[in-house]
């Protein structure tokens, strides 16, 4: 009976990995922060209903806050929506942020990814979003930012292919970097995490199961 239960756990873990999105790392395109003080960031792209979900993760371990997210794309993405996340206060470009007789609408600042022009990056303003002022509202170590988009054309597989081909590029502007938080840098997605990494994860689960059986 225990063997059956263990098998079920392994299969559930494998199924979970198979249903996960595709993870892409970021590369730094500006060089303001001293080496050794730069956190790691990833972007996971997954299916979300009939659209796509982009999950930006700040892995740390160093301080730094994602303060704005940008997309160089005019083909696939539209109608972005920042999903609620504890500790993160982000708004899309043009989103109403206050109500009353004189409503206010969010204006992403900076309007384009700083340094993006050096790598041919041009943000589509309609897809941009940023944090509400203070770095504490951004995506700090251990936090994530979820942005869901509808699709103008194509499907999830087309979006993944476009990211891999660099015809759809995501970028982030990170502040509060360095020993005293005095630096900022920009990053863009540049390559997918190899699929072999997922297979490796499955292997880890299977190996752990086999070791328990042998013991």
The whole-number pLDDT of residue 190 equals 82
Per-residue pLDDT tens digits for 98-123 = 888 889 999 999 999 999 999 999 99
In a domain, 48, yes or no: yes
In a domain, 10, yes or no: no
In a domain, 13, yes or no: no
Q: CA distances (Å), 58 to each of 3, 41, 91, 160, 194, in order?
A: 38, 5, 18, 21, 20
In a domain, 186, yes or no: yes
Q: Is the whole model's pTM more than 0.85, yes or no?
A: no
In a domain, 166, yes or no: yes
Domain range spanning residue 35?
21-198
Question: How many structural domains does the chain have?
Answer: 1
Q: What is the rounded distance in angstroms from the CA atom of residue 129 to the CA atom of residue 171?
A: 11
Provide the sign of the torsion angle of the four alpha carbons 116, 117, 123, 129, taken in this order. positive
In a domain, 119, yes or no: yes
In a domain, 64, yes or no: yes
Per-residue pLDDT tens digits for 25-68 = 999 999 999 988 999 999 999 999 999 999 999 999 999 999 99
Per-residue three-class SS string for the chain: CHHHHHHHHHHHHHHHHHHCCEEEEEEECCCCCCCCCCCEEEEEEEEECCEEEEEEEEEECCCCEEEEEEEECCCCEEEEEECCECCECEEECCCEEECCCCCEECCCCCCCCCCHHHHCCCCCHHHCEEECCCHHHCECCCCEEEEEEEECCCCHHHHHHHHHCCCCEEEEEEEEECCCCCEEEEEEECCCCCHHHHHHHHHHHHHHHHHHHHC
Per-residue pLDDT tens digits for 172-210 = 999 999 999 999 999 999 865 455 344 444 443 343 344
**What's the CATH code of the domain at 187?**
2.60.40
In a domain, 38, yes or no: yes
């Amino acid at each position: 009976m225990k063997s059956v239960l263990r098998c079920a756990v392994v299969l559930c873990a494998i199924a979970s990995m198979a249903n996960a999105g595709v993870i892409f790392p970021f590369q730094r395109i500006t060089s303001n922060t001293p080496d050794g003080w730069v956190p790691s960031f990833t972007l996971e792209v997954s299916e979300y209903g009939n659209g796509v979900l982009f999950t930006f993760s700040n892995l740390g371990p160093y301080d730094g806050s994602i303060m704005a997210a940008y997309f160089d794309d005019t083909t696939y993405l539209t109608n972005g929506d920042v999903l609620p996340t504890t500790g993160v206060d982000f708004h899309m470009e043009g989103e109403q942020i206050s109500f009353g007789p004189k409503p206010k609408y969010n204006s992403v600042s900076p309007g384009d990814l700083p340094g993006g022009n050096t790598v041919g990056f041009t943000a589509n303003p309609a897809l941009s979003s940023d944090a509400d002022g203070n770095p504490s509202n951004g995506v700090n170590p251990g936090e994530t930012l979820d942005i869901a988009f509808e699709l103008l054309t194509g499907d999830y597989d087309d979006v993944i292919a476009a990211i891999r081909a660099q015809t759809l590029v995501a970028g982030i502007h990170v502040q509060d970097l360095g020993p005293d938080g005095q630096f900022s840098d920009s990053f863009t997605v540049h390559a997918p995490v190899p699929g072999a990494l997922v297979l490796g994860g499955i292997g880890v689960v299977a190996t752990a199961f086999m070791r328990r059986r042998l013991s």
